[in-house]
Chain A
Amino acid sequence: MSAGRRGEILVGSAIVAAVVLVGAYLAAGGASYTPEKTQNPCKHRAWTNPEGLQEIAQQFTLSALDGAACQLGVSRETLARALATPEEREHFTERYDITDAQLAKAVRAGLLRAVDDAEEAGALSPVLAEPLRETLRSIPLDRAIELINNAESLLDNAQGILGPAQELLEGFLP
């Protein structure tokens, strides 16, 4: 075989190998990855038949996170992580240039939305929802901040957020 022919075979083989590899990886979905998008927190999310106070409390937390995140213009997931620790919260407020007052106001708005959602889902009687709203609306700003600042972790934060709501719910629910 001539030297030129060997060279052509070598180059041809290289092209085939490159095309086969790239083609195979493309066919296997190599270019199709996109991260799952988080949902818009401003979009209503229906409650999923909550049963018992614990599940109501969870749905309530998620609705409150959605409402607060919507108010702040961030995702629910970002806000959930931001409330996990004081350091995360500080990082979050710095990154998004949010004051504690704005954060507290947003959390209060989130709690109000949670009441709306609970009422809509039938988890809270309309008769009881309005007094609950009044209670949450009248929570002073420092109390709203306290709900956040007293937390050491997302669990504590969640319990902190749920705490008064849970107490209120316990008082209002049959």
Chain B
Amino acid sequence: MSEAPRPRVAALALAVGLVLADSSIVVLALPEIYRELDASVAAVSWVLVSFNLVMALAAVPAAHLARRLGPGRAAAIGLAVFAGASLACALSEHLSTLIAARCVQALGGAAAVTAVLELLPATVGSERRAATIWATAGATGAALGPAVGGLLTELVSWQSIFLIQVPIAIAAAVPILAVARHEAATGVLSAELRQTGRPHLLANLALALISAAIAGALFLLVLLLIEGWRLSPIGAAIVVSVMPLCALLGSRINGLVSSARARAAAGAILISGGLGGLALLPKAEVALTLPPQVMIGIGLALVLSALTETALGGRAPQAIHGGWTISARHAGVVIGILAVTPVFTHDIAQQRHDAIDAGTAVVLDSQVSPLLKIDLAQKIGDRLDEEKGKVPTIGPAFEPLPDDPGERDEVVQLREELQDQLNRGATHAFSPSFGIAALIGLLSLIPIAFARRVEL
């Protein structure tokens, strides 16, 4: 490792982190994109799904291409395509062009990520260390994605999420170009031509399941914070940044425990436990999301690293088997999003209806004066109209507060009771989906446990 060129290792890790961050980076920007491009909620979700779907489908073919072209050239070309498609995403004025550009972005990303895995062992001098760096960079990127996307959306615009990726992709490609030039000059393709068997089915299956659970965690938590609790994108970004920070902590534990099986099992349990906690939030308070996020973040680093090492360990070519892990992970993300979205969409609509009914009942049955009561009911109706489809912030309906101190106290209490009803309803609406994600996470323990006797 002492001889490993640090800029090149950093560039390779950056490339992996950048591409895999894209699987989740637009989550916090979706409401903004939805409004600006005048799309339906279902259609705009394809900005997220399309990238992950194409990554899942293209990863293995891209890995074969990387071997044919040479990993240096494949990584450089992949990053160039990724940068160009990112620019196209930023310039898109229609949802269809944005989704098309996202697909191209995924194609370039798949080529870059799988080729990097072929380059890393030669750069760091160890396949295991290469797999660890690759997996950690990917996990950190995926976990950082929503927070970075939220910050950029709020501070600049959703387009800036894609614009900023252009120079980063180019910066990552520069050190790799030297390898590409060397390959072109020498005609050397991949140094490793040995083939050692099929993909590790159980590790890849566990990766798919755990990725589905993690996608649920990120996707649902962001939606809960923004759509349920009405946090701003930047507020939500700060809250969900706990996960990547804890993922970094979890990556330290990786070095302390050598057993991949133990790390994978512990990670899956932590993620499932964290998701279980999110499913059972007692109150609509941000602080209560922190302990589950800590567990999910640490678990994420443990399980992704362990399963990736297992899937790649002793197998060659690394790019092909890395392609299978990328394919499994992104297929899991797609499955996770598609599995929880209908459940949560139905539940939040029902809970919103129930909570609004309960809230209206609170107003109608309150002790405030009749005319004020009717005025409040009208304003609450107006708020619902203004924020159709969302859980409303009910405060403005109670402004201005009455001058009479007694009536003012009554109205303030009424406002808090009503908002509490709405917040608890919104929180509860996410519970079944978090519960499903937790169960998917627990399911990953089956292939992990079974692989103990066979392959791990």
B-binding residues in A (CB < 8 A): 3-4, 6-8, 10-11, 13-15, 17-19, 21-22, 25-26, 28-31, 33, 35-39, 54-55, 57-58, 61-62, 65, 75-78, 80-81, 84-85, 87-88, 153-155, 158
B295 touches A36 (CB 8 A): no
B421 touches A36 (CB 8 A): yes
- Which residues does chain B contribute within 8 Å of A65, judged by CB atoms? 364
- Chain A: CB-nearest residue to B350: A35
- Which residues does chain A contribute within 8 Å of B355, judged by CB atoms? 35
CA separation between A28 and B253, bound complex, in Å?
31
B273 touches A3 (CB 8 A): no
**Minimum distance in angstroms from A30 CB to a CB of chain B:** 3
CA separation between A94 and B394, bound complex, in Å?
26
B262 touches A11 (CB 8 A): yes
CB contacts under 8 Å to A, within B251-310, are 253, 256-259, 261-263, 265-267, 269-270, 272-274, 276-277, 279-283, 288, 291-292, 295, 299, 302
**Minimum distance in angstroms from B398 CB to a CB of chain A:** 15
CA separation between A166 and B50, bound complex, in Å?
61
CA separation between A13 and B421, bound complex, in Å?
36
CB pairs A–B below 8 angstroms (16 shown) = A6-B259, A7-B261, A10-B262, A11-B265, A18-B295, A19-B273, A26-B280, A38-B361, A58-B373, A65-B364, A76-B361, A77-B357, A81-B360, A81-B377, A84-B378, A153-B381
Given A10-B262, A33-B424, A37-B358, are A18 and B257 also a contact pair (CB < 8 Å)?
Answer: no
- Chain A: CB-nearest residue to B292: A21
Partner of B360, one of A4, A17, A25, A80: A80
Number of A-B contacts (CB under 8 A): 146
CA separation between A38 and B288, bound complex, in Å?
29
Say yes or no: is B384 at the interface (Cβ < 8 Å to chain A): yes
- Chain B: CB-nearest residue to A31: B280
CA separation between A58 and B368, bound complex, in Å?
11
The 8 closest A-B pairs by CB, nearest first: A18-B273, A7-B262, A30-B280, A58-B370, A84-B381, A77-B360, A7-B259, A28-B282
Say yes or no: is B114 at the interface (Cβ < 8 Å to chain A): no
- Which residues does chain A contribute within 8 Å of B381, judged by CB atoms? 81, 84-85, 88, 153-154
Say yes or no: is B427 at the interface (Cβ < 8 Å to chain A): yes
- Which residues does chain B contribute within 8 Å of A37, judged by CB atoms? 358
A4 touches B259 (CB 8 A): yes
- Chain B: CB-nearest residue to A156: B378
A14 touches B360 (CB 8 A): no
Say yes or no: is B329 at the interface (Cβ < 8 Å to chain A): no
Say yes or no: is B150 at the interface (Cβ < 8 Å to chain A): no
**Minimum distance in angstroms from B402 CB to a CB of chain A:** 15
Partner of A21, one of B253, B274, B380: B274
CA separation between A18 and B354, bound complex, in Å?
31
A35 touches B421 (CB 8 A): yes
- Which residues does chain B contribute within 8 Å of A22, judged by CB atoms? 273, 276-277, 280
Question: How many B residues are at the interface, by size bracket?
Answer: 35 or more
CA separation between A170 and B291, bound complex, in Å?
62
CB contacts under 8 Å to A, within B399-437, are 421, 424-425, 427-428
- Which residues does chain B contribute within 8 Å of A15, judged by CB atoms? 269
A25 touches B280 (CB 8 A): yes
A14 touches B259 (CB 8 A): no
Say yes or no: is B36 at the interface (Cβ < 8 Å to chain A): no
B370 touches A54 (CB 8 A): yes
Say yes or no: is B385 at the interface (Cβ < 8 Å to chain A): yes
- Chain B: CB-nearest residue to A57: B370
A81 touches B280 (CB 8 A): no
Say yes or no: is B374 at the interface (Cβ < 8 Å to chain A): yes
B270 touches A155 (CB 8 A): no
Partner of A10, one of B253, B360, B382: B253
A21 touches B295 (CB 8 A): yes
Say yes or no: is B331 at the interface (Cβ < 8 Å to chain A): no
B378 touches A29 (CB 8 A): no
- Which residues does chain A contribute within 8 Å of B373, judged by CB atoms? 58
CA separation between A11 and B452, bound complex, in Å?
14
- Which residues does chain B contribute within 8 Å of A3, judged by CB atoms? 257-259
A13 touches B266 (CB 8 A): yes
Partner of A18, one of B272, B375, B425: B272
Given A7-B257, A7-B261, A37-B358, are A81 and B273 also a contact pair (CB < 8 Å)?
Answer: no
Say yes or no: is B318 at the interface (Cβ < 8 Å to chain A): no
- Which residues does chain B contribute within 8 Å of A85, judged by CB atoms? 381-382, 385
CA separation between A30 and B377, bound complex, in Å?
30
